[in-house]
Structure formats: C-alpha cells, structure tokens
Amino acid sequence: MSVIVTAILALLGLAAVFGALLGFASIRFKVDGNPIVDEIDSLLPQTQCGQCGHPGCRPYAESIADGGDINKCPPGGEATIQALAELLDVEATPLDSEHGEEIPKQVAIIREDECIGCTKCIQACPIDAILGSAKHMHTVIASECTGCDLCVEPCPVDCIDMVPVDQGLAAWHWNSPKDQNIIATDKMGLVAEGANLS
Amino acid sequence: MSTSFKSAPSSTLSSKIISTRTIYDFHGGIHPEEMKGLSNQTPIVQPPIPPKLVLPLQQHIGKPSQLIVELGQRVLKGQKLADADGMISVALHAPTSGIIDSIIDHPIAHPSGESGACIVLIPDGKDEWCELEPCEHYEHLSVSKIQAKVREAGVAGMGGAGFPTEVKLHPPHHDKVATLILNAAECEPYITADDRLMRERADEVVQGMEIMAYALQPGECIIGIEDNKPEAIAALREAAKETNIDVCVIPTKYPSGGEKQIIKILTDKEVPNGQIPADIGVMCQNVGTAAAIYRAVRFGEPLISRVTTLTGEGIQQPGNVEALLGTPIDWLLSQYGFQANKTERLIMGGPMMGFTLKHIETPIVKTTNCILAPTHKDLPPPPPAQACIRCGLCADVCPAVLLPQQLYWFSRAQEYDKAEHHNLFDCIECGACSYVCPSSIPLVQYYRHAKGEIKQQKQDQLKSDQARERFEARQFRLDREQAEKDAKRKARAENAAKAQAAKKAAEAVDAGTETQANTASDDTTDTKKVAIQAALDRSKEKSQANNASKPEEVIDIDALKTAWDKTQAKLDKMHDALDDAKVNNPDQVDKLTRAVEKNQMRVTQAKQAWQKASASQNTEAETKIEPAAEAEKPDIEALTTALEKAQSKLDKMQDALDNAQPEQVEKLTRAVDKNKVRVNQAKQAWEDASASQIAKVKINAEAVTEAEKQSDITEQPDVEALESALDKAQSKLEKMQDALENAQPEQVEKLTRAVEKNKVRVQAAENALKAATSATKQNGEQ
C-alpha cells in the first residue's frame, strides 16, 4: 500500500514540477501573433494593391493563414503561389483570374505638365511613393513604386500612366536552357540546310 | 582524364631551370583540344583605323562612365571621353583623334545582345595624340599617384571580367597582400592573346607587375603560366631575370586560369565561400592588365586598345591584333578574311566561357580577348540533351568541388534555395561539367539561369521588404494622426460639457422657470402618457369583459390606434429634434436622447395595447359565430351561394385548364387545386350548417309539434336547394368525366383524382338531400 502511495506521490510531484515548468515556458517564451502570418507575408510581393480583395498584403496573409485561397495575388503570380504552396504544404492552384492577370512589373509615371496638384494620388499611395504638395506638381519615386496602380483611379485629370519597368542590363539573366535548343534539327535551320545541299 | 603534373613534358623542362616552388593541384579540370596553334604563329598586327568607332560607356563591372564630351566635338587620341562614376567605375578615352558623331543605343558585348549607350567617334585619320604625362621611374611616384594614374587611364581587368584595376591596387585594410599573382595561364582553347603579348612584350608585362608590386608591397610575386606556352615562358624568364618575380610553370589543365584555381595551384589556399582572394591575402591580375598598367604609368597612355585573338576556321588569316577599343567586329573581321558563309556564329571569348554574339556590329571592348569564328565542324551545336545517367563525370571534373548533378536537379526544378545550399554560387561557370556530360545536358546554362533567378528573387525580396517597411510606416503615421484627432475631439467635447454644466448650475440658481422650459417636451409627453395609460386601462377592461358590445370595442380599438399613431408621430418629431440638436446644440443631446427613449417605450406600449385590443376583438368575433348560428336559414343560404360560386369558379378554371397551353398548365393546376380546397371548405361549412339545421329542425319538430307548418315552410326551400346542388354536382361530375375521357395522358391522373373527389361530393350532397327529405317527411308525419 505504501508503495502505491509513494508512486502516486512521486508522479504527482513530477506532474507538478513539469506543469510549473511548462506554465513558465508558455509565458516566458510566448510568441506574439501568429508566426505563420509573418512567413506568408514575407512571401507576398508587398504591392499593397488590394487586388486580392484584402486591404493590403498582411490581411491577405492572415486570410491565407486562416485557410483562405493562395491564388489571389496577381502581382506575385505563379512564383508566389508556388512559394506559398511549398510553405503551407498545400496544392498550388493556378492564379484566380477574377483578381486580375499576372502582368510584367509596372511603375507609375505622372505626366507632370498635366498634374494639377490635387494630392489625391498621394493619399492613395499605400507606400508613400508619391511626392508633392497641394497645388504643386507631384512625382512618383520610381525606385519605391510597386506598380499597384492605386493612384491611377483617383487622378481627376488622368495624368498617371502605368508603364512596364525597364530593368535594363543589370537585371538581365540567362534564360533556362530547358525552353530552347531541345531538338537538334531545330538548330537555326542549319541541319536542314545541310540536308538540302547533300 | 587528368594529366598528372609530372608527365607534362614542358614542366619537366621548366623544373630544370627553376623548381623552387611547390605546385599544387586543384580538383577536377578537363583537357579540351587547345587549338592555340591556329592563332599564335603570327605576331600581333596593328589593323588600320576603322571608319567608325563605337565606344560603349560601360565596358567594365560597376557603374557606367559619365560622358564629358559634346556632340560634334573634336577629340584627340587618348583624350578622356567619359569619367569614372564612383569608386567601382573607370574612365573611357578616345582611341584615335576624330569627331564625336553621336551618342546612340548600340548593341554591346553582352550575352543578352541588348543595346547600351555608346559614343560614336568618326576618326579623322590623323591619329593625333593628346598631351601625355610620361614617367621614367615609377619609383619616384607615390602609391596614391600610381593608383590615380591607373584610374585615370581607365584600366579594367582585361582577362574577361573587367573589374576596375585601380581598386585592386589598394591593399586590403586589415593586412598586407601576401601573394601577388599574375595570371598568365590562358587556359581556354583558341585564345592566344596573352601568349603573344608575353612573347612580344614580356618586359612590359614584367614591369607592369613591378608597378603593381610597388603599390601592393606583397610578400611574393608569382607569374602563373601554363606549360603549353614555352616561348612565352622563356620570354618572361628573360624579362624577369633581374627581378624577384617567380615565373611559375603550371600544368595545362582547364580551368587553371580561373582565379580561385590558380590561387589553389600556386599557394594551396582556397578562397572561402562568399569571400574574395584579398580576404586570404592574395591578389590576382591578368597579364594584359599588367601591360596596360605599365603603359599607363610609364607613358601616361590610357587604355585605348587591346590585343585580341581573331581565330577559328572561318577566318582566313587568324592571329592577334591590337585593336582599338570600339572597332566594330564585322569591320575588323573583314580585314582578315572573314568567311561569313563558313561560320554559323561568332563567339566573344573562348569556346568554354564565351558567349555567342547576337550582333556582328558589336564593338571590341576592354574585356574582348578573343573573337572566335568557328565552322560548323569545329564547334558543332550540342546534340539534344538526354536524360542524366548519373555517371558522376561532372562531379569528377568540377574545379569548385561541387555536386553538379544535384545543382542540375535543383536548378531544373526551380528549387533554388536547395541549389543555394549546395553552393551554387561557388560555381565559376567554367563549363567543364557540360563538356564532359555524356548526355549533353547544358549543365552550366542551368546554373547560370538559376543564379540569375536567385539574384532576381533576392532583389525582389529586398524591394518588397522595403515596400512593407514603407507601408507599415504609413499605417503607423495614419493611426497616429487619427489618434491625435480623436484625442483633440474628446478634449473639446469635455470642455464643452464642463462649460454647459457650469452654465446649467448658474441657471438653476437663478430661476426655475427656465428649467421648466427646458423640460417642456417632457411635460407634453407626460400628458400623452396619461392619455395612453387611460386608453390601455380601458382596453384591458374591455378585453376582460368578453361580452361587451362590438361597437364599443371598435371605438376603443380606433382610439388605441390613433393614440399609437400620435405617439409615433411625436417620436418622429423628437427624433428630428434630436438630429437637429446633435448638429446645433450638443449640450441638449443627452436630454433629448432620454426623452426619445421614453417615448419609444410609450409607443411600444401603445402598440401592444392596440394589438391586444384588436386580438380580443377577433376572439369576440369568433365567439359571435355561435349566436349567429341562430339565424340558420340565411346563413345556410349564404353558404350555399358561396359554395355555388366556388364551384362555378372551379368549373371555369377547369375549363381554362383544359384549354390551357402547356407552360401555363402547371400554374392553372395549382390554382384549380387551391380552389378545390376552397370549394371543399365551403361545402364542409354548408354541410355542417345544414346538419346542424337538420338537428335543430328535429329538435324543433319534437319540441314544437304545433309549428309543423312553419317548419315545413322553412325546410322546403332548403331541400330544394340541396336538390339543385346535387344536380349541379352531378352535372359537374359528368363534365369532368367527359373531360377525363378527352384529356391528355399527363393530365389524366389529376383529372381522375378530381373526378373521384367530385364523386365523393356528389355522394355527400345526395346523403344530405336524403337526410333532409327524410327529416321533412318525419316532420310531415309528425
């Protein structure tokens, strides 16, 4: 009998110790917020364009963390969907065209002679990438612009253009050889030419 | 596959002369056919001045040069055309005298084949030098002066990368350079530019290296040269006799000319991942660069030309030329018998690491060491890639000791993070793996693509992080502004409330009348409340008194209704007042809100009262049906007519149904069914009524035998009515049966059911009639 009592007491003691330890750890090492949201957020392109139907990238990340669709981000495109699918271990679905098409990177350009200085685009810009003040010409800081095109709609004189970014030679890189030169007979028609000669 | 160092014939030869230095080996490497004999037999020639020079502003790694000349300006040979922009940049000079014709976008020497900003110089043929600043003895110059001279001369690494040389003349901050290596390996097939340069201008090369050594003060100076260039070795040895430069012969193996590889061969040191040779105390320079440094310091000549190998079976007179920078390649090749029909492509650089030129008019730049015009036979296009057979040859030859297979899988599957974990960025893109691959997989092309993609992704990540930061900063700013606004508004409201309270207190002390005025609306609502309470009480009394007369009830309900309406109107008014007050008179808002709430309660009370009253009236109306049964005869007649009406309506509908179009059938059928139910109800009511009448009549007959005749009179029309009803029902039934016979198959079922129902009804009518007649008979008998 005393053996059982000792055993129970010992187990109780252990339970109390580890319970206290766990309780302490849960307070001491408490993680604020959902860490997965941060991870998802870091994969999103941060255009803050709202094309996904959420007011910014973080709300979209939160909705994904709650089990929402991962295919609602046109600026990120297939690459983002792939990355999200890998992170969340879900199946990658094609981009939902309801939210827009994947287009090359764009940047907003204000046609400055036409700008009337209404500041509407400045208020619309989610990342403060437009400079200017009331009744003075505005301009876009091209290096900061994410190409979300939220400034285009509020402009009363339609003087904002979205133009594809010219990334120049610095951003050039080799194409994947997967897409090219797969069949020997396709080589610039030379093999075929040789065949004609013979 | 790899030749051991000892078996190399010329290295045994060189080891006879000097073999103090231990030579190490690097992992892997290949021995492609050298093809150097094609171009190294003839001396360097000086081509004529081309009719046009195209000078790209970016011929080096770093920022493009800043243009400092104007259109139409005449410039002299060696005059600066563009200045270095920042630390990692070099200047650009006029290769000959002439006029600046234009600044255009022109295809430049880049694998993309894209265009870049170029200065177009039309030579005037005079080849007139600008004033130079020669210097007999570099030892008299300070190190910084030498660095400045090299910078001003626009010297960039001429081995192929084009890194600004001046940067590499600054010793690293933390410690001094232990080893200065002059890379004379020239390991790629076909290329002989350095070979010829060393043979013909060995003293320039050696003196250039001495200048570098003067600037860097290294512990040792080594020239690493492959053993397949015995003449160059001899020339260098001769030139370096008086110096402490060690001409070190290394075995021929591709890619021993790679910076990291030659460092490994000569010093056995490895450049760690992510670091540069300077981090391990080694500085590496190219032979051509050394010569350019010498000319820059000794004669003040900027870098305006370079030795370039023109080779390949597609060129009739292959060899090395000292071409002016900016010479269009098509023009240059045409001077040496270029046969465009024999070549399928032009390669800038060697066959291993060079790239195909997309535009033949691309100019010669500071990094152009070779133009290769191979025939189809020399350099056939690679056969189609087969599946990887995991032979491991690529791993055997990789000079960077990587796992090319793994990198291939990861690059192909776009698993770039894994490729990075396998040290993709240590790949020097030498192409040895692709060279040995028995499946002809373009391995190095995959790595280049993957590297580009990873860099792009990193850049995108950087940009998106920046955007996030800006977005969050903006959100924070907006939130703060909102909070400030709210705080201000709150403070204002508090102040206003305080002021109001103070005012009120003062008023209360002064006079009570104003307070009354303030609460006037409350008083009116109170009177209203009394009225409604009275109405409520009344309605309660009335509902308790179930037997109360109907007219009274009606009035009561009406009164309640009007009371409710009035209170509702009052409430609406108050709401308006409240809205007004909100705008104009914030201090009254509270009071009015309370008043409105009170009134709302009243309205609901009134409404409830009205509803109760009307409900009780309804129950009374129902209870009144019983006494109404006393007026049997008119009631039954009314019921009968109702039944008849319903029946006739049903008949009409049935007809309509019969003639109806298919799409309307469903609707009509539903309507008919409804009507049938109504008819049924009417019939039921009529039957009940007549049954009760019959019962009453029986009672009457038993009780009042004297009133025989009277009952006869009353009952006779009833029986007649029943008879006519029966007739009607029967004719109806007949009609229906006819209709059933002519009906369409899908309607048959419905009609059958209808007929059966009607039969039942006819039966009921017959029974009723029988009962009625028997009752009359009994009456008559009695």
pLDDT tens digits along A135-171: 999 999 998 898 888 999 999 999 999 999 877 777 7
Residue A38, chain B, CB below 8 Å: the answer is no
Q: CATH code for A35-99?
A: 1.10.15.40
**Which residue blocks in B217-286 are alpha helix, DSSP H?**
230-239, 259-267
**Which residues lie closer than 8 Å to B310 by C-beta, 6 or more apart?**
B39, B318, B319, B320, B321, B332, B333, B336, B370, B371, B373
Residues A180 and B445: beta-carbon distance below 8 Å: no
Mutation choice for B interface testing from A38, A46, A167 by most B CBs within 10 A:
A46
ipTM entry: 0.80
**Which residues lie closer than 8 Å to B177 by C-beta, 6 or more apart?**
B171, B216, B217, B218, B219, B278, B281, B282, B283
Is residue B281 in some structural domain? yes
pLDDT at B355 over 80: yes
B296 plus B200 within the same structural domain: yes
User: Which region among A30-44, B172-186, B566-580, B731-745 has the lowest average model confidence (pLDDT)?
Assistant: B731-745
Q: Rounded to an integer, what is the distance from CA B706 to the centroid of its chain? A: 103
Is residue B383 in some structural domain? no
pLDDT at B556: 59
Residue B47 pLDDT level (bands cut at 50, 70, 90): very high
Mutation choice for A interface testing from B61, B434, B463, B477 by most A CBs within 10 A:
B463
Give the pLDDT confidence of B288-330 residue by residue, as tens digits. 999 999 999 999 999 999 999 999 989 999 999 999 999 999 9
DSSP B178: S
pLDDT at B144 over 60: yes
Residue A178, chain B, CB below 8 Å: the answer is yes
Residue that has been written with the tokens 């309804």 in this structure? B618
Residue B636 pLDDT level (bands cut at 50, 70, 90): low
B634 plus B766 within the same structural domain: yes
Mutation choice for A interface testing from B108, B353, B444, B468 by most A CBs within 10 A:
B468
Report the side by side order of strands in the sheet with B305-311.
B319-324, B305-311, B370-372, B347-348, B355-356
Q: Do B467 and A128 touch (CB under 8 A)?
A: no
CA–CA dist B629, B623 (Å, integer):
11
Domain limit, last residue, from B508, B529, B545: B508
CA–CA dist B621, B631 (Å, integer):
16
DSSP B410-471: HHHTT-HHHHHHTTGGG-----HHHHH-TT---HHHHHHHHHHHHHHHHHHHHHHHHHHHHH
pLDDT at B744 over 70: no
pLDDT at B617: 61
Q: Do A57 and B471 touch (CB under 8 A)?
A: yes
Residue A126, chain B, CB below 8 Å: the answer is yes
Average pLDDT value for residue range B354-370? 92
State phi, psi for B77 to the nearest 5 degrees. Answer: -60, 125
Residues B54 and B328: beta-carbon distance below 8 Å: yes
How large a percentage of chain B has pLDDT more than 90? 47
Question: Which residues in chain A touch residue B456, judged by CB atoms under 8 angstroms apart?
Answer: 171, 173
B592 plus B648 within the same structural domain: no
Cα distances from B457 to residues B47, B63, B446, B462, B464, in angstroms, run 45, 22, 16, 8, 10
Average pLDDT value for residue range B183-211? 94
Is residue B198 in some structural domain? yes
**Max CA separation in chain A (angstroms):** 105
- Among the partner-chain residues B381, B414, B470, the one whose CB lies closest to the CB of A128 is B470
Domain limit, last residue, from B300, B332, B349: B300
pLDDT at B748: 62
In terms of Cα–Cα distance, which of B399, B406, B384 is closest to B431?
B399
Residues A165 and A105: beta-carbon distance below 8 Å: yes
Q: Do A181 and B381 touch (CB under 8 A)?
A: yes
B107, containing H or E segment: strand B98-107
B663 plus B735 within the same structural domain: yes
pLDDT at A94 over 70: yes
Q: Do B116 and A129 touch (CB under 8 A)?
A: no
- Among the partner-chain residues A144, A173, A178, the one whose CB lies closest to the CB of B456 is A173
Give the pLDDT confidence of A1-60 residue by residue, as tens digits. 899 999 999 999 999 999 999 999 999 888 877 788 988 998 898 888 888 899 889 899
Q: Which two tokens stand for residue B83?
A: 């200045």
Q: Do A47 and B467 touch (CB under 8 A)?
A: yes
CA–CA dist B225, B14 (Å, integer):
11
Mutation choice for B interface testing from A145, A174, A178, A188 by most B CBs within 10 A:
A174
Residues B655 and B671: beta-carbon distance below 8 Å: no
State phi, psi for B268 to the nearest 5 degrees. Answer: 65, 15
For B463-522, the three-class secondary structure string (H helix, E strand, C coil) is: HHHHHHHHHHHHHHHHHHHHHHHHHHHHHHHHHHHHHHHHHHHHHHHHCCHHHHHHCHHH
Give the pLDDT confidence of B469-494 residue by residue, as tens digits. 999 999 999 999 999 999 999 999 99
CA–CA dist A49, A107 (Å, integer):
13
User: Which region among A66-75, B320-329, B501-510, B649-658 has the lowest average model confidence (pLDDT)?
Assistant: B649-658
- Among the partner-chain residues A82, A146, A177, the one whose CB lies closest to the CB of B442 is A177
pLDDT at B597: 74
Under DSSP, is residue B35 helix (H, G, I), strand (E, B) or coil? coil
Mutation choice for B interface testing from A106, A172, A176, A193 by most B CBs within 10 A:
A176
Which amino acid appears at position B2 of this protein?
S
Residue A173, chain B, CB below 8 Å: the answer is yes
Average pLDDT value for residue range B221-246? 92
Question: Which residues in chain A touch residue B413, judged by CB atoms under 8 angstroms apart?
Answer: none
- Among the partner-chain residues B111, B455, B470, the one whose CB lies closest to the CB of A144 is B470
**Which residues lie closer than 8 Å to A123 by C-beta, 6 or more apart?**
A154
Is residue B58 in some structural domain? no
Q: Are strands B179-184 and B282-286 parallel, antiparallel or unpaired?
A: parallel
pLDDT at B689: 63
In terms of Cα–Cα distance, which of B384, B432, B383 is closest to B404?
B432
Question: Which residues in chain A touch residue B382, judged by CB atoms under 8 angstroms apart?
Answer: 181
Neighbouring CB atoms inside 10 A of B746's CB total: 9
Under DSSP, is residue B247 helix (H, G, I), strand (E, B) or coil? strand
- Shortest distance, CA A5 to any CA of chain B (angstroms): 56
Q: Rounded to an integer, what is the distance from CA A132 to the centroid of its chain? A: 28
Mean pLDDT of chain B: 80
B597 plus B650 within the same structural domain: no
- Among the partner-chain residues B446, B463, B470, the one whose CB lies closest to the CB of A177 is B446
Buried b or exposed e, range B153-167, using 16+ CB within 10 angstroms: bbbbbbbbebbbbbb
B24 exposure class (CB count in 10 Å sphere: 0-12, 13-18, 19+): middle
pLDDT: which is higher, B510 or A183 = B510
Residues B435 and B30: beta-carbon distance below 8 Å: yes
Residue B226 pLDDT level (bands cut at 50, 70, 90): very high
B288 plus B162 within the same structural domain: yes
Under DSSP, is residue B676 helix (H, G, I), strand (E, B) or coil? helix
Q: Do A176 and B449 touch (CB under 8 A)?
A: yes
Residue that has been written with the tokens 């500071």 in this structure? B366
Question: Helix axis angle, B143-152 relative to B287-298, nearest 10°?
Answer: 110
B171 plus B282 within the same structural domain: yes
For residue B701, what is the domain's CATH number? 1.20.58
**Which residues lie closer than 8 Å to A149 by C-beta, 6 or more apart?**
A49, A106, A108, A162
B177 plus B258 within the same structural domain: yes
Question: Helix axis angle, B589-623 relative to B550-584, nearest 10°?
Answer: 160
pLDDT at B715 over 70: no
Mutation choice for A interface testing from B342, B410, B437, B449 by most A CBs within 10 A:
B449
Q: CA-CA-CA-CA torsion for B461, B462, B468, B474, nearest 10 degrees? A: -160
Q: Where are the beta strands (DSSP E) in chain A?
A: 106-110, 130-131, 139-140, 160-164
- Shortest distance, CA B449 to any CA of chain A (angstroms): 5
Give the pLDDT confidence of B252-285 residue by residue, as tens digits. 999 999 999 999 999 999 999 888 898 899 999 9
Give the pLDDT confidence of A97-142 residue by residue, as tens digits. 888 888 888 899 999 899 999 999 999 999 999 999 999 999 999 9
B725 plus B682 within the same structural domain: yes
Is residue B141 in some structural domain? no
Cα distances from B532 to residues B371, B523, B595, B596, B643, in angstroms, run 108, 14, 16, 16, 45
Give the pLDDT confidence of B384-396 residue by residue, as tens digits. 888 899 999 999 9
In chain A, positions 82-121, which contact chain B (CB-CB < 8 Å)?
Answer: 82
CA–CA dist B613, B555 (Å, integer):
11
> Taking CA B579 as the corner, what is the angle to CA B574 and CA B583, rounded to the nearest 5 degrees?
140
Q: Do A174 and B445 touch (CB under 8 A)?
A: yes
Query: What range does the domain containing B177 cover?
Result: 1-30+147-300
B430 plus B460 within the same structural domain: yes
Q: Which two tokens stand for residue B191?
A: 């290329």
Is residue B122 in some structural domain? no
pLDDT at B756: 74
CA–CA dist B359, B456 (Å, integer):
26
Q: Rounded to an integer, what is the distance from CA B386 to the centroid of its chain? A: 35
Is residue B72 in some structural domain? no
Domains in chain A: boundaries: 35-99, 104-168
**What's the pTM value of the predicted model, to 2 decimals?**
0.65
pLDDT at B120: 95
pLDDT at B557 over 80: no
CA–CA dist A172, B467 (Å, integer):
23
Residues B187 and B255: beta-carbon distance below 8 Å: yes
B561 plus B697 within the same structural domain: no
Q: Which two tokens stand for residue B626?
A: 């019983």
Residues B522 and B602: beta-carbon distance below 8 Å: no
State phi, psi for B115 to the nearest 5 degrees. Answer: -95, 155
Residues A81 and A60: beta-carbon distance below 8 Å: no
pLDDT at B586: 58
Q: Do A173 and B453 touch (CB under 8 A)?
A: yes
Average pLDDT value for residue range B460-477? 91
Q: Do A128 and B385 touch (CB under 8 A)?
A: no
pLDDT at A196: 39
**Which residues lie closer than 8 Å to B326 by C-beta, 6 or more apart?**
B53, B54, B55, B56, B95, B118, B119, B121, B363, B364, B365
Is residue B50 in some structural domain? no
- Shortest distance, CA A27 to any CA of chain B (angstroms): 28
Considering its fold, how many domains does chain B have in total? 4
pLDDT at B422 over 90: yes
Domain limit, last residue, from B610, B626, B642: B626
pLDDT at B672: 61
pLDDT at B431: 93
Q: Do A126 and B471 touch (CB under 8 A)?
A: yes
- CATH topology classification for A104-168: Alpha-Beta Plaits (3.30.70)
Question: Which residues in chain B touch residue A184, judged by CB atoms under 8 angstroms apart?
Answer: 381, 383-384
User: Which region among B139-153, B490-504, B709-723 has the lowest average model confidence (pLDDT)?
Assistant: B709-723
Residue A47, chain B, CB below 8 Å: the answer is yes
Q: CA-CA-CA-CA torsion for B22, B26, B30, B36, nearest 10 degrees? A: -50
Question: Which residues in chain A touch residue B459, judged by CB atoms under 8 angstroms apart?
Answer: 171
Under DSSP, is residue B226 helix (H, G, I), strand (E, B) or coil? strand
B466 plus B531 within the same structural domain: no
B280 exposure class (CB count in 10 Å sphere: 0-12, 13-18, 19+): middle
- β-bridge mates for residue B80, sequence order: B93
DSSP A151-166: TTTT-TT--EEEEE--
